[in-house]
Amino acid sequence: MDLRPALVVHFGPTPIKNGIHRVVNSLWRPTSSLPVLILCAFAPLRLCIFCFLFFLLFCTSFPINRLAYNEPMRTTHQFSFVILFFALLLSACGVQQAPVDPAYLDEIETWRHEREGRLRAPDGWLTLVGLDWLEEGDNHMGSASDTEVALPAPGVPDEVGLLHVEEGVVTLVPADGAEILIDDAHITTAQVLRSDAEEGGPDHFEVGRLTAYVIARGERLAVRVKDPEASTRVDFKGLDFFPIDPAFRIEARLELYDEPIEVTIPTAVGTDDTMFCPGVLHFEAKGQEISLRPWLSQPQSRDLFIVFRDATSGETTYGAGRFLYAELAENNTAVLDFNKTYTPPCGFTPYATCPLAPPENVLPVAITAGERLDH
């Protein structure tokens, strides 16, 4: 029994609509649709969609007078087997991505969880609310608008004391009656503060819910202030990442210099940092030969620090670039796992001092792995 008349929809006299009509009628016939059913059961969805579109185009290429409503479809079998043929061809030629090692997935997921945990911590980068550069002499601290070191939090007095700078030494002098804590102890007399560049430093001092400490950047000193109730922390929605891609876990070869070279690195706030470059990393990504200059905190260190920009910078990732750490092996190779690249602190707060990527570390390809901007 032919049920086609009950299913017909009058689409109008255009080739495309008649082609759709023909597809519906051909797929309805049980004897001719068997290959199509086999295709739908076993072929990936993308192949089914592609083949359906091909079939539709193939149907619409026939003269309209052969697509009359009541004309038998003599080529139905041929059409169905054409679909099956192309599906099998695409299945044979298509490149299927190898499954990702579950252990590697767990490693990256753990790294992501720990990364976000550090960022959200009560003393993490999201808590920064101030960065004030110190001048030689007295630098007053407090909530008043005219103080050199702003302490922006409820309950902080207009002035709580001052930081006296003399030949690179910073001394905290509390105001009378001020509540300032160092190591949970209330201080009433002057105290020398170590910066983050000194052994055992930095020394943290607390005023209300705020924590502050001295940092050294080149020849300059500044006070960094943190607030665990900062809006950047309270309102933070979480990190976003590219899908995990093992293809971006790449082994690189380090071409060593005779000795690590001391380099001056500009930062996002206009200061300069000093680090050491041990050589040039060479590797291949997306079919291109690429090189990067890593940095070391000390000449003898084997922990490579890499700041780079790529084709995603300013588009799907932070414009100033991303950070990556890698360990240098004894054979002078290093695994660069770009799935562990992350946004520098400057991507979250204006109160951070971040090194900028050198021109040599601007990559010509898109590194679609690791941390990206929130979508």
Task: Kindly report, residue by residue over 228-275, the tens digit of the pLDDT.
Answer: 999 999 999 999 999 999 999 999 999 999 999 999 999 999 999 999
Q: What are phi and psi of 181, to 5 degrees?
A: -115, 140
| C-alpha dist (Å) from residue 221 to 14, 53, 133, 356 | 77, 66, 6, 19
172 CB-contact burial (10 Å; exposed 0-12 / middle 13-18 / buried 19+): buried
Q: What angle do CA 212, 239, 109 make, to 5 degrees?
A: 110
Go through 62-91 and write b for each residue having 16 or more CB atoms within 10 A of its CB, e for each that does not: eeeeebeeeeebebbeebbebbbebbbebe
Which two structure tokens, joined as six digits, stand for 31? 């004897």
What pLDDT is recorded for position 218?
Answer: 86
The amino acid at 131: L
| C-alpha dist (Å) from residue 41 to 38, 45, 48, 85 | 5, 9, 10, 15
What pLDDT is recorded for position 323?
Answer: 98
What pLDDT is recorded for position 66?
Answer: 44
Strand partners of residue 272: 266
Please state, in angstroms and rounded to a whole number, the distance separating the CA atoms of residues 370 and 325: 12
Per-position DSSP letters for 296-352, written without gaps between them: BSSTT--EEEEEEB-TTBTTTB-TT-EEEEEEPPTTSEEEEEGGG-B--GGGT-TT-
Q: What is the dihedral of CA 307, 312, 318, 320, to 10 degrees?
A: 50
Q: Which residues contact 68 (CB under 8 A, 6 or more apart)?
A: none
Helix, coil or strand: residue 104: helix
269 CB-contact burial (10 Å; exposed 0-12 / middle 13-18 / buried 19+): middle
Query: Do 353 and 286 touch, CB atoms closer than 8 A?
Result: no
- Low-confidence residues of the chain: pLDDT under 50: 1-13, 15-17, 19-21, 23-24, 26-28, 30-44, 46-51, 53-54, 56-77, 79-95, 375
Q: What is the 3-state secondary structure (H, E, C) of 123-191?
A: CCHHHEEEEEECCCEEEEEECCCCCCEECCCCCCCCCCEEEEEECCEEEEEECCCCCCEECCEECCCCE
Element (H, E) at 292: strand 288-292
Q: What are phi and psi of 227, to 5 degrees?
A: -135, 115
Element (H, E) at 114: helix 102-120
Count of other CB atoms within 10 angstroms of residue 192? 10
The amino acid at 366: A
Helix, coil or strand: residue 16: helix
What pLDDT is recorded for position 147?
Answer: 96
Cis bond before residue 202 (omega within 30° of 0): yes
Strand partners of residue 306: 324
What pLDDT is recorded for position 22?
Answer: 52
Greatest C-alpha distance within the chain = 103
Go through 345-368 and write b for each residue having 16 or more CB atoms within 10 A of its CB, e for each that does not: bbbbbebbbbbbbbeebebeebbb
